[in-house]
Amino acid sequence: MTDCIFCAIVAGQSPASVVLDEPDVLAFMDIRPFTPGHLLVIPKRHASGLAQLDPEDGAKVFAAGQRIATAMRASELPIEGVNMFLADGVAAGQEVFHVHLHLVPRTAGDGFGIRAHWQTPNRTVLDGTAATIRTAVESHRS
């Protein structure tokens, strides 16, 4: 028995309300939904975070999420918009260490939101941060 709850769902050892079952991707309802219809899209192959995720699996997860989000908005469910959300790392709010893409259906006034202290950096600061990240991206190959 795996100690990863999402691997246990993939293996059929733990129950889930499945929305989409593809060879490399599974989508199922979140057990503690932020809003009605909140679901998760995961790669079947275990990856604890984005650094461990095969980019091809990542592409399949996003494609499945895009397809489900579009279908949900066209469905009879009262969905006016969808947020995609992915937490990578404890500081980002990740609690389950098997990569998952949240799809959160939205309706006006549903109370879901992102709490933040919005910052107003000047162009010099933005350019400096961009240069640091650009260098990191150029030197990092997954």
Asked if 102 is an active-site residue, the reply is no
| Site track 19-58 with Zn ion (rule: CB under 5 A), x = hit | ---------------------------x------------
- Whole-angstrom distance, CA of residue 89 vs CA of residue 3: 18
Please write down the long-range contacts of 55-58, taking CB distance under 8 Å and 24 or more positions apart: 55/142, 57/24, 57/25, 58/99
DSSP codes of every residue in 11-29? TTSS---EEEE-SSEEEEE
Verify binding: residue 5, Zn ion, rule CB under 5 A: no
| Site track 28-67 with ligand 5GP (rule: CB under 6 A), x = hit | xxxxx-----------------------------------
At 50, is the secondary structure helix, strand, or coil? Answer: helix
Q: Which of 100, 102, 117, 140 is catalytic?
A: 100
Sites of contact with ligand 5GP (CB under 6 A): 5, 16, 28-32, 87, 93-96
